[in-house]
Homo-oligomer: A and B are copies of this chain.
């Protein structure tokens, strides 16, 4: 049986059976956006994320600098979603031999430019040959204990917020794939995604659970519910989707709400907060955590169980 039959979730199941952490300094291991390790008197946040040519980007419509920036931003997002601040990066690249030096130069400039924005320093890496361009960034940051945000800390009664509009990155991607002109703003959301630490950093200590929206809102809320052993309802009418995203989705005969729920790479943050702290946070209220298991969508007076999941790299 090949891996496309079990998908990421199935593979993660295999990994979880093999990995049993024993070291008491490991505060969070596999199963969240980043690992958290106590080193001396500090809490280090470790993450890694990869961009693969043909899967995550194409130089047909990405500028090389945009590819580099994206490789940095997606890792910043994984540290941000833990409540942490990134600090150091290792950059591992697989490169085609026919790649133009100028393209390599610009990709690396993009990596460094985005890193500077967050005061991150590149301290090492690796270069090797590959058939597709592959950029794997490993990032280390730090988090204050009181700011640590985990997937597993959602509680029944918590309200669910997202920090900004969703679906635009997936809409942008589909505009490129179908070679539809116009919609430049929507396309830019796909080409230049940005992490959103500034949207949550002032109220991290009031957040219960948090995750970045890299694989669609439904998928992220499912992760939170699974790790917290709870369920949730999402209010379809409250999901922030811009008009331009709706129009772009229409242009490719799709529904923008589906992009928001099941698309990917918006890199907004989804978090839960206790009702008593409602006024401490800012964002779009999109749902509620509850005891009843399963993630449901409330739309037009009815609730239905969301059975699909987010983008899966292995299932076509």
Listed in ascending order, the chain A residues whose CB lies under 8 Å from chain B are 1-6, 8, 10-12, 14-15, 18-19, 21-23, 26, 28-30, 32, 34-35, 37, 39-42, 44, 46-50, 52, 54-56, 87-88, 90, 92, 94-101, 104-105, 108-109, 112, 121-132, 134, 136, 138, 140, 313-314, 316
Contact = CB atoms under 8 A, between A and B. Distances in A.
28 contacts: A3-B99, A3-B100, A11-B127, A14-B101, A14-B108, A18-B109, A19-B121, A19-B122, A26-B121, A29-B123, A30-B122, A30-B124, A30-B125, A34-B124, A35-B90, A37-B123, A39-B39, A40-B40, A41-B41, A49-B126, A50-B94, A55-B128, A55-B130, A94-B134, A95-B314, A129-B314, A132-B132, A134-B134
B127 A134 contact: no
Given A4-B98, A92-B48, A136-B136, A121 B22 contact: yes
Contacts of A104: 3, 11, 14
- Give how many copies assemble into the complex: 2
Contacts of A15: 108, 125
Nearest to A128: B313
Contacts of A121: 19, 21-23, 26, 29
B48 A136 contact: yes
A280 to B, nearest CB: 30
A244 to B, nearest CB: 29
B126 A50 contact: yes
A123 B30 contact: yes
Given A47-B90, A55-B129, 6 more contacts: A2-B99, A2-B101, A46-B124, A46-B138, A130-B134, A131-B131
